[in-house]
């Protein structure tokens, strides 16, 4: 639950800082836009007909105000990053940014804080108006890069749908800034974006042969190629709408998650390796590294950074004690083997030592 977010936040923060610092000694980060799945969803699925929802106890047990739709007991990784203090941005350079006077006044207000926001980044489903100048969270639990991914769980917002929502947000930003597209482009160019997709394309698609045909139609290599190609197209659409500083988060060791251990591990401890999940994920992650290199080479002004979450989790699972953890193969809350066959039920009592659990 929350522990996972805390441990991975350091690496994500380094990527965010790297992306922000590549263009200025004192990075200006007036806003933060988030794309992803249940690892970072903060309430977008609350408003759609979906089984992939977390707006009930015990989720949010350690979150001020209770359940919000976050799939954790407290803050998520991106929440932690959003609270990180970074060097303060100066006011907008109106000459360099070529902003109109009304746009400059609005942006001067929006850039008084960077990451280190007093308020958490809101879900897009609840954000409007000038809130969008500081960013939004578009993530949706059960979502994937492929449109059909996660469909057995009901409605969800695929990555292409999240990008469409971002495009709508950009249009609203342009409107707020007096229809000054140059001002909007300058503003978005200083924002930070984190994108983390792909886990569900394996867990809730490729490795569910009873429900999806992708496992029989694609080898792991070809599936990784197809995913990366579709991913790249949506990322390029984000770039066309102003995204420049992007932390691209790789897929973690999903073959070590309680759900996969419960279903596929002979002893409930050994991770599902080789082409069975972890090996397939590594193939996909290698293609993400290539995407980052390609985008930085061919897209003017692009500053993409790859975040090796797979390596982070590998280190945690090998040396849990070094991270203050004791249990890495079972959920603190859930049903069935490894507490991983069904997610937390409404009002289920979680473990009492949740700070010692990775999941």
Q: Give domain limits for the chain.
A: 2-356
Does residue 21 or residue 346 have the better pLDDT? 346
Quote the radius of gyration of the chain (alpha carbons, Å). Answer: 20
Residue owning tokens 């936040």: 9
Tokens of 155: 């409605």
Tokens of 290: 């290539």
Integer CA distances (angstroms), 28 to 89, 132, 298, in order: 5, 17, 24
The mean of the pLDDT values for the chain is: 84
Q: Could you tell me whether strands 135-137 and 192-195 are parallel, antiparallel, or unpaired per DSSP bridges?
A: unpaired
Which of left, alpha, beta for 117 (phi over 0: left; psi -120 to 50: alpha)? beta
The per-residue pLDDT for 275 is 57
What sign for the dihedral angle of Cα 78, 11, 204, 347? negative
6, 166 Cβ separation under 8 angstroms: no
Does residue 357 or residue 113 have the better pLDDT? 357
Percent of the chain with pLDDT over 90: 58
Give pLDDT tens digits for 235-275: 999 999 999 999 999 999 988 888 888 887 777 777 876 55
> Mind giving me the DSSP string for 209-234?
TTT-SHHHH--HHHHHHHHHHHHHHH
The per-residue pLDDT for 237 is 99
Residues 6+ apart with CB under 8 A from 181: 174
Residue owning tokens 């007096």: 178
- The model's confidence at residue 340, banded by pLDDT at 50, 70 and 90, is low
Q: Which helix (H) or strand (E) holds 13?
A: helix 2-21
Q: What SS3 state is found at 137?
A: strand
Q: E strands along the chain, which residues?
A: 32-35, 135-137, 192-195, 245-249, 303-307
The per-residue pLDDT for 267 is 79
The per-residue pLDDT for 77 is 86
Integer CA distances (angstroms), 176 to 97, 121, 165, 212, 343, in order: 16, 18, 17, 43, 41
Closest C-alpha to 285, from 213, 351, 349, 199: 199
User: Which CATH number describes the domain made up of 2-356?
Assistant: 3.40.50
What is the rounded distance in angstroms from the CA atom of residue 325 to the CA atom of residue 327?
6
What is the rounded distance in angstroms from the CA atom of residue 183 to the CA atom of residue 167?
16
For 300, other C-beta atoms within 10 Å of its C-beta total 6
Percent of the chain with pLDDT over 70: 81
**What is the arithmetic mean of pLDDT over 206-223?**
97
Asked which of 19-33, 105-119, 178-192 is least confident by mean pLDDT, the reply is: 105-119
- The model's confidence at residue 108, banded by pLDDT at 50, 70 and 90, is very low
**What is the arithmetic mean of pLDDT over 46-66?**
94
Q: What SS3 state is found at 357?
A: strand
Does residue 194 or residue 335 have the better pLDDT? 194
66 half-sphere exposure, CB direction, 13 A CA radius: 6
Give pLDDT tens digits for 7-42: 445 555 555 555 555 444 443 578 999 999 999 999
């Amino acid at each position: 639950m929350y522990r996972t977010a805390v441990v991975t936040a350091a690496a994500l923060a380094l990527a965010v800082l790297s992306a922000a610092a590549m263009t200025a000694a004192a990075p200006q980060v007036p806003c933060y836009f988030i794309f992803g799945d249940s690892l970072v969803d903060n309430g977008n699925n609350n408003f759609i007909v979906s089984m992939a929802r977390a707006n009930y106890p015990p989720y949010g047990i350690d979150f001020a105000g209770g359940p919000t739709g976050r799939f954790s007991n407290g803050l998520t990784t991106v929440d932690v990053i959003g609270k990180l203090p970074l060097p303060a941005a100066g006011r907008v350079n109106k000459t360099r940014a070529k902003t109109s006077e009304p746009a400059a006044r609005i942006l001067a207000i929006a850039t008084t804080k960077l990451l280190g926001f007093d308020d958490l980044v809101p879900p897009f489903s609840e954000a409007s108006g000038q809130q969008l100048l500081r960013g939004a969270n578009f993530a949706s639990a059960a979502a994937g890069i492929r449109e059909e991914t996660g469909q057995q769980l009901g409605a969800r917002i695929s990555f292409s749908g999240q990008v469409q929502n971002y495009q709508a947000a950009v249009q609203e930003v342009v409107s707020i800034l007096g229809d000054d597209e140059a001002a909007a482009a300058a503003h978005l160019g200083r924002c930070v974006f984190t994108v983390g997709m792909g886990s569900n394309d394996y867990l809730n698609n490729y490795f569910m042969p009873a429900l999806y045909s992708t496992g029989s139609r694609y080898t792991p290599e070809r599936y990784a190629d197809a995913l990366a190609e579709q991913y790249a197209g949506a990322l390029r659409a984000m770039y066309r709408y102003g995204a420049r500083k992007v932390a691209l988060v790789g897929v973690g060791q999903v073959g070590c998650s309680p759900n996969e251990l419960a279903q596929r591990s002979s002893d409930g401890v050994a991770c599902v390796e080789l082409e069975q999940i972890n090996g397939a994920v590594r193939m996909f992650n290698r293609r993400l590294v290539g995407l980052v290199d390609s985008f930085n080479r061919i897209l003017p002004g692009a500053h993409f950074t790859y975040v090796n979450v797979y390596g982070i989790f590998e280190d945690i699972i090998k040396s849990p004690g070094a991270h203050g953890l004791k249990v890495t193969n079972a959920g603190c809350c859930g049903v069935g083997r490894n507490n991983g066959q069904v997610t937390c039920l409404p009002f289920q009592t979680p473990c009492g030592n949740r700070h010692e659990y990775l999941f």
